[in-house]
Amino acid sequence: MFLCMAVLCPLHATDLRSAPERVTAWGDEILYFVIVDRFADGDPNNNANVDIEGRGAFHGGDLKGLIKQLDYIADLGVTAVWITPVVKQIPKYVSSVGFPDWGYHGYWAEDFYQLDERFGTEDDLKKLVDEAHKRKIKILLDVVYNHAGYMSAYTKRPDANDWLRTGRRESLCGDDDITMCLSGLPDFKTEKPEVRDYLITYAVELAKRTGLDGFRLDTVKHIEHDFWQEHRERCNDVLGKDFFLLGEVWGGDHKVLDPYFRTDELDSGFDFGFKGSAQAFVQGRGRTIAFSRYLLKRHKIRDDYLVSHYLSSHDVPGALYELKNDKTLFKLCVGLKLTTLGLPMIYYGEEVGRFGGDWPENRTHMPWGKQSKQMPGAGKVQDADMLAFYKKLIQLRKAHPALSVGGMRELHVEGDLLAFARTKDGGEVWVAVNRAKGSVEAALDLPDTWKGKTVTEAMSGKPVKADGGKLNLKVPAQTIHIYTAE
């Protein structure tokens, strides 16, 4: 059992300043995930097959729309944006789910070497990168190597049987992660050198031409490790060693991801356990000490690699939905996300209270309030209080590197109050989360570095009383407090 009671628990006692440049550069980032079609419409002229009310239809969002909203993203405090794939999608919809379901999400490729006109052009993608960089925002493009779209042109090629496990004859899909045909999609034989080269080349060359900062890699565990090792080598050779790779290894955590880190196939992977663990804690399920130990275990990640944690995504029901629209509890989860180790991911619209739901309601369009009537989501109300809460937490995380990459020390793990310290280079920030329906008080020993200084609760800006070498915390019901010393 991993114990790290009242002692510093850093990343294997390694200072992240010694990490590879690509990881050092991403350790303090705030990631914002956008489904391009569901975010903002910047060019109504490319709106083919658009039905804003259709659950599986295109809604008109495009790269030009995203470019127009970069100031909004920058104002939020975000420093990196992950966008869904923008390659050409299959020309028809799928009807097996009970309604017309199109490739608006970008994961059903018809041709990897063309961009889908509904999303925009390669020039638009390059402009997005250039404009983002002006605002000190990085761009991650989602890329897919495992499969093509249903009945895509790849299934009709003369060599389809050589390239795909679902080609022009009876399916050759297997039962293991590598040879299975995920959701019945045409599965590439990525073990073949010619297939491998074709797929990697499309993405690497597009990144080189447009100046992308990294890839979000889809369905990682369904492709061989040696593919990912070759992929890393190609990225290093063509795009430079600071090009960032964030992988989706379904069910991933620091242990599941370690085989990919050990051979340097990825820089970061998603922590699939954070969402459920945080929601359970704020709802009062489980002991506080158990959740604290979960947070401590996340610090056991291999040196120089990152986990990325989230509360909502396009593949799972949103946290606000699962919390039955209890925004007070949701704020506690947001506070935990932005004060704990890793690369926090914000799913578009959660910062303004987009309710989401189970699939496909977790992919509704971005609410834009009173902005342009041409926007999908125009007139949908934004929660200004939630937005301000996100901005404050992001501001604090950016101001205090300990909240991003620091170690963790337990301060209080009894009852309904969780308190922990985040520490880096002698700097210390305290976080206290009260999940109870009543106020909780605790007197905690001041660290030596805080003695003689003014301690402030940073969310409110109010000073906190210290007596006899102890800090007297009074945390209101279902509230997060963050303490700093000046």
Cα–Cα distance, 420 to 282 (Å, whole number): 16
Same domain (yes/no): 321, 383: yes
Same domain (yes/no): 357, 445: no
Cα–Cα distance, 3 to 9 (Å, whole number): 9
> For residue 11, is it within any domain?
no
402-419: per-residue pLDDT in tens?
Answer: 999 999 999 999 999 999
Same domain (yes/no): 437, 361: no
Are β-strands 268-270 and 138-143 bridged in parallel, bridged antiparallel, or unpaired? unpaired
CATH code assigned at 460: 2.60.40.1180
Q: Is the pLDDT of residue 12 over 50?
A: no
The pLDDT assigned to 486 comes to 84
Give the 3-state secondary structure of residue 395. Answer: helix
Rg (CA), the chain: 23
Q: Is the pLDDT of residue 3 over 50?
A: no
What's the angle, vertex CA 15, arms to CA 9 and CA 18, rounded to 5?
150
Same domain (yes/no): 171, 149: yes
239-290: per-residue pLDDT in tens?
Answer: 999 999 999 999 999 999 999 999 999 999 999 999 999 999 999 999 999 9
Q: Is the pLDDT of residue 430 over 90?
A: yes
Widest distance between CA atoms in the chain: 81
The pLDDT assigned to 68 comes to 96
Residues paired with 407 in a beta bridge: 423
Can you read off the two tokens belonging to residue 75?
């104002």
The total number of structural domains that make up the chain? 2
Tell me how far apart the terminal alpha carbons of the chain are, to the nearest angstrom.
37
Can you read off the two tokens belonging to residue 237?
């050779």
Cα–Cα distance, 300 to 458 (Å, whole number): 28
Same domain (yes/no): 33, 148: yes
Domain that holds residue 480: 409-485
pTM of the entire predicted model: 0.93
> For residue 207, is it within any domain?
yes
Give me the residue label for tokens 């995920």.
Answer: 182
CATH code assigned at 73: 3.20.20.80
Same domain (yes/no): 261, 366: yes
Looking at residue 416, the DSSP 8-state letter turns out to be T
The pLDDT assigned to 239 comes to 97
The pLDDT assigned to 18 comes to 35
pLDDT band at 374 (very low <50, low <70, confident <90, very high): low
Pick 448 or 133 by higher pLDDT: 133
Which of 378, 406, 434 represents a domain boundary (last residue)? Answer: 406
